[in-house]
Amino acid sequence: MRRIQPRRSPAVPLLVLSWAGAAAVLSLWWQNTPNVEGTTQWLTGAGRLSGLLAGYVLALVVLLMARVPALERRVGSDRVARWHAMSGRYALCLILAHVGLIVAGYAEQAGTGLVEQAVTVVTDFPDMIEATIGTVTLVVIGLVSAGMVRRRVSYEFWYYLHLLTYAAVFLTFWHQLSTGAEFVGDEMARTAWCALYGTVTALVAWYRLLMPLKLNLMHRMRVEAVVPEAPGMVSVLIKGHRLHRLGAEAGQFFRWRFLAPGLRWGSHPYSLSAPPRPELLRITVKAVGGHSSGLASLEPGTRVWAEGPYGAMTAARRSRGKVLMIAGGAGITPIRALFETLPGRGSDLTLLYRARSVDELALWDELKQIANERGARLLYAVNGPDGARPEITAERLRSLLPDVEDHDVYLCGPPGLAEHAYEALHEAGVPDRRIHHESFEF
């Protein structure tokens, strides 16, 4: 308990570093741009700048897809995913601005129409056919990733389409060196740009390909059993070799691929629902889609391909002696593991479990046993006989814990529950830095 200290957000230095990179790109453009005069130079100058920034942001987009443990475990996978989505939107806007401004500037200079000039740029400039294919691919990926469209397509379709980002970035990279005024005559700038993309490529190859291959060859995981826990919820026991060497912690998750018919093409994130053991891991999954529903029919002995561990909602985030845990639905899985393992006196631990009915309180017997052994507080809130929902409000939190503002809070559940609980915690005086929440709603 003496080692529990407030921790600075690891996101701050990363954001500072990212903005410093953007400033370096701006400086590169500034050094290679003479006095800008006339409409043509203004258009082409803005086009060059937007293209440079687009190239830089694309490198960040790919970096955020690399699943670097320092980001996934310290910053949190959900935050990294939000950064990735936001960077993707910025990159797409910059790419479209770059294309439009460059074509407009060249058309103004040549005295031709926009369509004619666009055809000339694509067919006559070096590496532009490949860049055009890459740009169109990025636009399609961006459109499919938009919220309205994303909700209408399957996860598998979105996931595999998203992987084309690597190919699209590769296709657009070469025209930057062959046609970019900042790189054509500046060997140092070319070297730095290649080093940026080379580093990102190496990280992707290492953490997306080589490390998962090593992990699965070493630990050789298979399904041990499937156990019903509640209506529409099952636990999958996964056996393997020397699983303690994975370095997994309570509160973390893996991305799981089960090599069974109908499931082998999907890789989904599921949290550990019990502390990892040397030869056994357990996940508990609620059926909310085709993949999660299919886990109930898994046969013992099914091969398992896993990537991880990921996630920052661990005991390391704790900064206070007292802890409140709020869980709902499938969010009970990481919370149950934390409830058993968080260090400290049991009387300082409180778990509030939200469900629609008593029958849906999955893992309840285990939670009661943990609470009895540790002397912790275990509470639940379920709908009334008339369907009335017991809302989590600041007043109820204060009546439950008069000193709630002095607690760390671990929060995991459906988006609606998480949003309302977050607002209630804020109103009750709990600051952002002590509300630890991770969501798979990417």
pLDDT in tens, 40-92: 889 999 999 999 999 999 999 999 999 988 888 778 888 888 899 899 999 99
For residues 353 and 147, which has the higher predicted lDDT (pLDDT)? 353
Percent of the chain whose pLDDT exceeds 90: 60
Rounded to two decimals, what is the model's pTM? 0.84
Q: Is residue 17 predicted with pLDDT exceeding 90?
A: no
CA–CA dist 109, 19 (Å, integer): 33
Other CB atoms within 10 Å distance of the CB of residue 145:
20
Instruction: Write the CA distances from 66 to 51, 71, 165, integer angstroms.
Output: 23, 9, 12
**Dihedral sign (CA 296, 302, 307, 309):** positive
Q: Where are the alpha helices (DSSP H) in 64-145?
A: 69-71, 77-110, 114-124, 128-145
Question: Which residue type is seen at 405?
Answer: E
CA–CA dist 108, 47 (Å, integer): 13
Is residue 156 within 8 Å of residue 265, measured between CB atoms? yes
**Mean pLDDT calculated for residue range 391-410:** 92
Question: Which CATH code of 3.90.1300.10, 3.10.50.40, 2.40.30.10, 3.40.50.1970 fits the domain covering 220-310?
Answer: 2.40.30.10
Question: Tell me: the pLDDT tens digits for 317-335?
Answer: 888 889 999 999 888 999 9
pLDDT for residue 106: 93
pLDDT for residue 2: 42
Q: Is residue 158 predicted with pLDDT exceeding 80?
A: yes
pLDDT for residue 5: 46
Question: Which CATH code of 1.20.120, 3.80.10, 3.30.200, 2.60.40 fits the domain covering 11-209?
Answer: 1.20.120
Please give the sequence-ordered ranges of beta strands (E in DSSP) within 115-251, or none if there are none.
222-230, 233-239
- Residue 232: burial class (beta carbons within 10 Å; 0-12, 13-18, 19+): middle
Question: Which CATH code of 3.40.50.10490, 3.40.50.80, 3.60.10.10, 2.40.160.60 fits the domain covering 315-437?
Answer: 3.40.50.80
pLDDT for residue 4: 46
Is residue 57 within 8 Å of residue 25, measured between CB atoms? no
Question: How do the domains of the chain map onto residue ranges?
Answer: 11-209, 220-310, 315-437
pLDDT band at 3 (very low <50, low <70, confident <90, very high): very low
pLDDT for residue 300: 95
Lowest-pLDDT choice from 33-37, 182-186, 216-220: 33-37
**pLDDT mean across residues, the chain:** 89
pLDDT for residue 320: 85
Q: Is residue 6 predicted with pLDDT exceeding 50?
A: no
Q: Is residue 442 predicted with pLDDT exceeding 50?
A: no
